[in-house]
Amino acid sequence: MKKFSPFFILIAVAFLFPAQPVFSKDTVVIYTSLENEEFVEYIKQAKVELPDLDIQAIRLSTGELGARMLAEKNNPQADCVWGWAVTNMEEFVPRKMIKPYKPEGWDKIPAHFKDPNGYWTAIDLYAAAFVINTKVVEKKNLPTPKGWKDLLNPAYKDMLIMPNPASSGTGFLQVASLLEMLDGDYKTKPVEDNKAWDFLKELDKNMGQYIKSGSKPAKLTAAGEYAVGCSFAFVYSSLKKKGFPVAMVLPEEGAGFELEANALLEGARHEAAAKKFLDWALSKSAMEGYSKFKLGVTYPGMKGPADMPSLDSIKLAPMDFPWQSKNRAKILEVWSNLFLH
């Protein structure tokens, strides 16, 4: 028996590991689709400014997060969502999965950045952008694209990469903006008859890959794997800072954009703590944190990062969130049938 004692020590050790010190803090469980890079910074700030909260969070892609919440509908594990695409959020309101809550400072947020009933409140806006590897473009002697239509140039064959709209919110807003911009009658005709599909079919001929996440096209382009990555704006500035040979172009047709919003979840186990967190997430100091990364935040008068074009100088696509939200499943079905192989 003595010889066996190492096992019992091992067993004891194994079971002692999970016994972490008990916090007297209030727990709050947060789901988010914000990019890891920014999110880690915000969380650091939140932990300093909300010392009595024990913040537990997981970061999943827009689609993964939705699936997770649907799966947990009858047994919600999270208390609130933070920075999740409004298109997806709108879909979840009629499913009775979101509880209206108007956080402190809600009145300051302009009306078009929030749900009138307080189901969700947007914190920021992020826009689609092309990230271009200047070295690759030079080496292969490619023209610099100005907008989506330039990407149809056969010279770009297999040199483009964009996110899969089914898994990435960025990919979805790119496709949705094209559907709305290239077909004036998008509202009245069935999704599958939209004129933009013909454009996307042409674009598909040049597309090297549809990839799962929205930031990866920019990163792979920066690493020299592609010439042009259809991605979003802030990932460009962080790559530029790291010294990658990249340039950014906002599509001249109009940049598709998405609002990222916060909401309280129905069935939250730590509702009081969640409300406290949501109040903070809309506060001026939190917004200042977002504004270091995002093209625009919803706090009135706050400017975006210095190395990005200011919001009012950008031509934004006319995004129709209610239509997108209602037709999301159909859009993805048509897209998947056309382009997944």
Nearer residue to other proteins within complex by CB, 132 or 182: 132
Distance CA 321, CA 257 (A): 10
Distance CA 104, CA 108 (A): 9
Taking the complex as a whole, how short is the minimal distance between the CB of residue 157 and other proteins, in angstroms?
11
Tokens of 113: 């950045």
Nearer residue to other proteins within complex by CB, 10 or 272: 10
Taking the complex as a whole, how short is the minimal distance between the CB of residue 37 and other proteins, in angstroms?
5
Q: C-alpha angle with apex 281: 126 to 103, nearest 5 degrees?
A: 110
Distance CA 264, CA 281 (A): 12
Taking the complex as a whole, how short is the minimal distance between the CB of residue 149 and other proteins, in angstroms?
23
Taking the complex as a whole, how short is the minimal distance between the CB of residue 9 and other proteins, in angstroms?
10
Nearer residue to other proteins within complex by CB, 306 or 340: 340
Question: Residue 106 class from Cβ within 10 Å (0-12 exposed, 13-18 middle, 19+ buried)?
Answer: middle
Nearer residue to other proteins within complex by CB, 10 or 104: 10
C-alpha dihedral sign at 296, 299, 301, 303: negative
Distance CA 270, CA 28 (A): 6
Question: 105's torsion region: left (phi>0), alpha (psi -120 to 50) or beta?
Answer: left
Nearer residue to other proteins within complex by CB, 63 or 256: 63
Taking the complex as a whole, how short is the minimal distance between the CB of residue 109 and other proteins, in angstroms?
26
The residues binding other proteins (CB under 8 A) are 1, 3-4, 6-7, 10-11, 13-15, 17-18, 29-31, 35-37, 39-40, 43, 56-59, 61, 63-64, 66-67, 70-72, 74-75, 77-78, 164, 166-167, 208-213, 215-216, 218-220, 223-226, 329, 332-333, 336-337, 340-341
